[in-house]
Amino acid sequence: MHRYRRIVVVSIIAAGVIAVAAFVVAGRTGAPRYQFGYAKPEAVSATVSAIGTLSPTVQAVIPPPIDGTVSSITAHVGQTVVAGETLATISPSANTSHVQIADAAALAQAQAALAQAEQPNQVTTSKNATSSSQALKTDVSALQRTIAKLCPTTKSPISSTCGSLDSELSRLSSQLSGKVSNANSSGREASTASSATIAADQAIVVADQSALTSAQQARPSSLVTPIAGTVAILPLTAGQVVRAQSTSYAITVIQSNKPEVIVPIAISTGHQLHNGDQASIVPFGSAHPTSGLVKSIGTVLTTNKATGVTTIPVVLSINHLARSVFDGTQALVTIDIAHSAHVLAVPTSAINYSAGRAIVLVDGPNGVTKHAVKLGIVGARYTSITGGLLAGDRVVLANLDRPLPTPIKPIGGSRKLFGKG
């Protein structure tokens, strides 16, 4: 019994001595504890993620074609429509009849003036001759004003009449510059002035007749969509008074089956993007991602004042959406900026940086040593190595004795969901 007790005591003492010795040795050497990984072939992908906004690739904005009142609406927001479908009907304004009356009155007045001008002159005395030059000047000015009003462009609807007016104006101006003072010449001046007045009155009659005809031909007009899609904006109500071609009353139809995504990407990673890069897109509210491609990379810089991050706009086309979405819907966009299927790689956490160089700690026969390496694709999980390591090298992922970094308080007291813009 005593012998057994002595053995137990000796064993306890020996274990204590060994533990103390191990503690002392460890304290002297300060050997850290490491977590290791290995350099080996891996599939490496680098991505960049951000929040984008869906925008339709095709949309039609359809304003009212005439002034009037909304008489009927045959569509509603969210409705699927086909090209050529009528969405609403506009009846001519209630004041159209007033326009017709005004145009008719103007026409009658112009016709009366024309008839008076066409009456032959009964008196051509010397007294008339002395004032004919002044009358001629007055008619020249009147004719110039008529031409400016009725013939503003070469595409005037009364272009033939405009040509006659121009010829008449040239003849009058020539006659006035001659300053003919005899009675016969004065008579001719009066006759020429009279012909100019007739020509001007004829032009006004033609213009007023055209305006009256247009007013009389006013008919209800329909708002028709030129494209198939979904009604996104419909700001009309029955009985509403609208103005022709006003976008405030326009119906908007979008083709939402193939929208684009516009996403801001930080310029620090934007230079790695290329047209045709593949992407995964998940619209908010959807559980299913869809694929897309980078369509264009913008150059306009925008800086977020809160974060200080500068971004460029990147547009992506979407291959297919499982459901319709509206313009302005947000989506999580993840773009593949680089990919290699079978390359030498290490876990990204093994990469350290010192003096602008990439460093990997390698555990070898002589302990842990630093190796400068050349990096290829830097992914979230793995980073490809193009020089400085061999397959099978055991690399340090973390020093378990090193304290964890102090968390950085997010801006505004909230966490960012996605990094890099």
Q: What is the pLDDT of residues 321-346, one digit of tens each?
A: 766 666 788 999 999 988 888 899 99
Residues of the chain with CATH 2.40.30.170: 34-54+256-413
pLDDT at 366 over 60: yes
In this prediction, residue 16 has a pLDDT band, given cuts at 50, 70 and 90, of low
In this prediction, residue 220 has a pLDDT band, given cuts at 50, 70 and 90, of confident
Angle at 271 between CA 265 and CA 275, to 5 degrees: 85
In this prediction, residue 418 has a pLDDT band, given cuts at 50, 70 and 90, of very low
Can you give the pLDDT at residue 198?
Answer: 62
Can you give the pLDDT at residue 149?
Answer: 55
In this prediction, residue 268 has a pLDDT band, given cuts at 50, 70 and 90, of confident
pLDDT at 269 over 70: yes
Tokens 């299927």 correspond to what residue? Answer: 341
Can you give the pLDDT at residue 94?
Answer: 52
Of 52-61, 166-175, 362-371, which gets the smallest average pLDDT?
A: 166-175
Can you give the pLDDT at residue 2?
Answer: 53
Average confidence (pLDDT) over 153-179:
57
pLDDT at 279 over 70: yes
In this prediction, residue 226 has a pLDDT band, given cuts at 50, 70 and 90, of very high
Q: Regarding the domain with residue range 34-54+256-413, which homologous superfamily does it belong to in the CATH classification? A: Efflux pump adaptor protein, beta barrel domain (2.40.30.170)
pLDDT at 410 over 80: no
Of 21-25, 135-139, 355-359, 389-393, which gets the smallest average pLDDT?
A: 21-25
In this prediction, residue 393 has a pLDDT band, given cuts at 50, 70 and 90, of very high
Can you give the pLDDT at residue 117?
Answer: 59
Average confidence (pLDDT) over 22-45:
72
pLDDT at 316 over 50: yes
98 vs 307, more confident: 307
Can you give the pLDDT at residue 123?
Answer: 43
In this prediction, residue 179 has a pLDDT band, given cuts at 50, 70 and 90, of very low
Average confidence (pLDDT) over 121-134:
51
Greatest mean pLDDT range, 32-36, 57-61, 69-73, 259-263: 69-73
Can you give the pLDDT at residue 235?
Answer: 95
Average confidence (pLDDT) over 228-256:
90
Q: Are 256 and 229 in contact (CB under 8 A)?
A: yes
Q: What is the pTM of this model?
A: 0.45
Q: What is the pLDDT of residues 54-106, one digit of tens each?
A: 887 788 899 999 889 999 999 999 899 999 999 999 998 755 544 554 555 55
Average confidence (pLDDT) over 171-195:
53
Mean pLDDT of the chain: 74
